[in-house]
A and B are shown apart, each in its own frame.
Chain A
């Protein structure tokens, strides 16, 4: 728990240290400029690393895709030539930079369609699934964290902390299968109401109210799985950072003013304890795009996480590079947003 809190603080501290040298307080504008440039640098670094990292992977796409199909070495060579895999690595890197900057990503080796099409297709199920789950987990988790910190050592605290930790330690696929068995197939008195997987029914017509409801029904179990697993992240860090605040003098002062307990908690304690949680929330939102591979697998939801893991087995370089870039960009952006918000919330970090 304290580890989480420490991690949360260290971000702001690192930021503070990094710019401590200048000595005088910068304007918010210069702070923003510095952060944006830094993020662009990280993004470029990610592009370079992503390219060479995946080339180190074992495996040869022509062989993986051609087993039992290409019968002569010439056919293998022809395949490599067709997708530029026979070019020297630096040349391939230049092509990759060029295609990425023109926004026209290369074609997937496996699906033979532009990677950007694949990513756009897979992006929205992931955003829907992981996005909603993260938002729900944040709200419920932060609330549970506040409750348990405020009632430290009491049964409420023990039950919430105990149950969120138990859920946190459950493997996602196992919890998912359990929920499918209980609520999709139906066990004992429980009727099987929810679908076992997929994003919508075969007969659903896109663009109708029925379609939206149908998708919502399909998302209930996967979202429930993710929320249950994510809860502890938020509740534990909120709990520990609130506990840090509990002994502070300003709370005694607030109580001494005669404020009701609820008001002391909401207006004073929680507000100050929110900083580490803000970091965590921002980072979690960044990771929304990278998806939730296990839950996507168990519930057969065609998301980005699955796309990337399956590309690894080929290895389908264009898809790997594309998904790596998109997910890293999302994390970098979320981090940037967190830094900018921090700059507003706590002017000290700008110095």
Chain B
């Protein structure tokens, strides 16, 4: 009995089930693809369901999923998708264009389904499936985000029984031992939202080919140190979301590969560019007037030593930031020309401030152009995030060197959200994830989003005009130009000073599993990507070969493997004996003191 306890998956034996165990630090909040929001939930849906369009590994551009190809009419108002034949649901029913139209129509109808996915169907008026292999989308005006449709497709024959009212609490979890019906490479056999373990078994008939692993198990660790220990010990094969310091420590372990994958998002220092009451248009809160001036904000960009922030705050695991589009999305990214780019140059920052009228007074403090004091800038950081606090501490120091007083307050992000909405701040540190299409990130900086997601209260009608233009564009090249122009505008107006492009630490047992391709390739993350690619790629080391020709995959033949496996095996062999010995040792530790005390007491009592 004991020999089975805690024994990790052995990936070598052919007759044994190959189990790939992933350690994560957060629970799935819902297996229902219309409800969850955590990245863990997205990962589970990617395993369970298919998408009409998926993301490429290289740069996350749209690529065929259930749709083999697509075309759009010249006016951009009709999109026709050709759907793959021969795909079946895990209960044997065929997956047709009707299922896709059904899923999209549920979202289009509004209700809870539209919360997460509705924005992808902006301007869409109808979705039809004229036959089993065709889906037609009709739009009222062009939508540049299409064909990006990362919406999990659910089976109509199951979901038609779930009413609009019931869907908001429909768990989409295994019932009566029956796995969830999906078409993806794996299916959920055990697990519940908020639970601490989720087990998936492979779909042997998957249309992209049978997965190389039989089971994927996710284990939730509530703190990352024990998760790293579990990886070292071999209880899990993959650890997601670990710190740069842990990555560094794991790199020296035998049999483990650890990386900092670039994650598609940015961290920024945001300013109060002028909060207003969105209903009356009256000014709101008490933001410092100096920060309403784009010139003042832009000058501060030269007072940030981003290299030092990356080195000290991000432990080297990150890249200095410039615009709101991370480098992973190279086709969208605008990079400031060298002579304009932010460099750490306090003299230049000072000169720019002087030029704009914010000159130093007799006490060495900078003043407003009319000579009144600027006062103390109120900086805010999120107390639960150390990077946030550290970044703002550096910023405060550099502001001081420029002759600007500031004070730092740290508070929980919940509370900070209220402060931001009340406009009672001058600057704060936060970050965003950016989707493969920058449209929604760009929209957060428009005037309409003030009081919504715009946390800098930025409003520029020129920017808004460009936003509308790119959103309705039918010409991809022209749209890219517009998007770049918008980034340049944000760079010059500086509602945000983008400080860093963050990374996500991941590590896996490279002595057991191989063939993880990063996304974006190169430099990206290995799991928790867009799509379930690596759950199909991953396989036991013995079967690795050349990873089906994916040369960039980690663990392809020729890459040296660690020697941790043999040690782990011998541990397993003596497991039973070790358990017995260990129990005795610990038991002795607990009662030893008391036992010794008893002995002492009786001898003392006897003497008396």
Q: Which residues of A contact B (CB under 8 A)?
A: 57-60, 63-73, 75-76, 78-79, 82, 107-108, 110-114, 118, 121, 140, 143-144, 147-148, 150-151, 154-156, 159-160, 163, 173, 177, 180-181, 183-186, 190-199, 201-204, 209-210, 213-214, 217, 220, 224, 227-228, 261-262, 296-302, 306-307, 313, 315
Contacts and interface: CB of A to CB of B under 8 A. Distances in A.
Nearest to B384: A313
7 contacts: A57-B414, A154-B600, A159-B593, A192-B233, A204-B5, A210-B5, A298-B222
Contact of B600 (A58, A156, A214): A156
Contact of A113 (B21, B169, B226, B432): B169
A309 to B, nearest CB: 10
A112 B32 contact: yes
Contact of B119 (A71, A307, A313): A71
Interface residues of B, number: 76
B29 A110 contact: yes
Given A151-B601, A300-B221, A71 B443 contact: yes
B452 A196 contact: no
A184 B225 CA distance: 12
Contacts of B193: 111-113
Contact of A59 (B223, B415, B443, B453): B415
A4 B415 CA distance: 37
Given A78-B115, A217-B6, A63 B417 contact: yes
B212 interface: no
A242 to B, nearest CB: 13
Contacts of B235: 195-196
B571 A191 contact: yes
Nearest to B602: A262
A240 B412 CA distance: 42
Given A193-B583, A202-B21, 14 more contacts: A59-B415, A72-B119, A110-B194, A112-B171, A113-B169, A113-B192, A113-B193, A140-B591, A147-B594, A193-B582, A196-B226, A214-B6, A227-B590, A301-B196
B2 A213 contact: yes
B232 interface: yes
B196 A150 contact: no
Interface string B189-229: 00011111101000000000000000001011111011101
Given A180-B226, A196-B230, A69 B451 contact: no
Residues of A contacting B: mostly:
helix
A69 B233 contact: no
Contacts of B593: 144, 159-160, 163
A196 B578 CA distance: 16
B566 interface: no
Contact of A199 (B5, B196, B451, B453): B196
B179 interface: no
A97 B139 CA distance: 47
Contacts of A144: 593-594, 597
Given A156-B601, A213-B1, A300 B223 contact: yes
Contacts of B194: 108, 110-111, 113, 118, 121, 302, 307
Given A72-B452, A112-B168, A191-B582, A201 B229 contact: no
B118 interface: yes
A186 B220 CA distance: 22
B440 interface: yes
Contacts of A177: 225-226
Interface string B427-453: 000001100000010010000000111
Contact of A121 (B192, B600, B601): B192
B571 A192 contact: yes
Contact of B6 (A150, A156, A201): A201
B118 A198 contact: no
B37 interface: yes
Contacts of A203: 4, 7, 19
A163 to B, nearest CB: 7
Nearest to B444: A71
Given A59-B414, A213-B2, A224 B586 contact: yes
Interface-central residue, A147, A198, A306, by most chain B CB under 10 Å: A198
Contact of A73 (B116, B221, B452, B581): B452
Contacts of B217: 202
B604 interface: yes
Contact of B229 (A72, A147, A184): A184
Nearest to B230: A196
B229 A185 contact: yes
A139 to B, nearest CB: 10
Contact of A195 (B2, B6, B608): B6
A298 B226 contact: yes
B163 interface: no
Contacts of B6: 195, 201, 214, 217
A155 B601 CA distance: 10
Interface string B576-604: 00110111011000110110011011001
A57 to B, nearest CB: 7
Shortest beta-carbon contacts, A-B, top 9? A59-B414, A193-B582, A58-B415, A196-B230, A302-B196, A210-B1, A297-B222, A111-B194, A195-B6
A121 B195 contact: yes
Contacts of A183: 582, 586
B418 interface: yes
A291 to B, nearest CB: 12
Contacts of A204: 4-5
A71 B440 contact: yes
Given A68-B432, A71-B119, A154-B604, A201 B5 contact: yes
B219 A198 contact: yes
A194 to B, nearest CB: 7
B35 interface: yes
B169 A300 contact: no
B534 interface: no
A306 B19 CA distance: 28
Contacts of A58: 412, 414-415, 417-418
A196 B229 contact: yes
A143 B594 contact: yes
A253 to B, nearest CB: 18
B229 to A, nearest CB: 5
Given A112-B32, A185-B232, A299 B169 contact: no
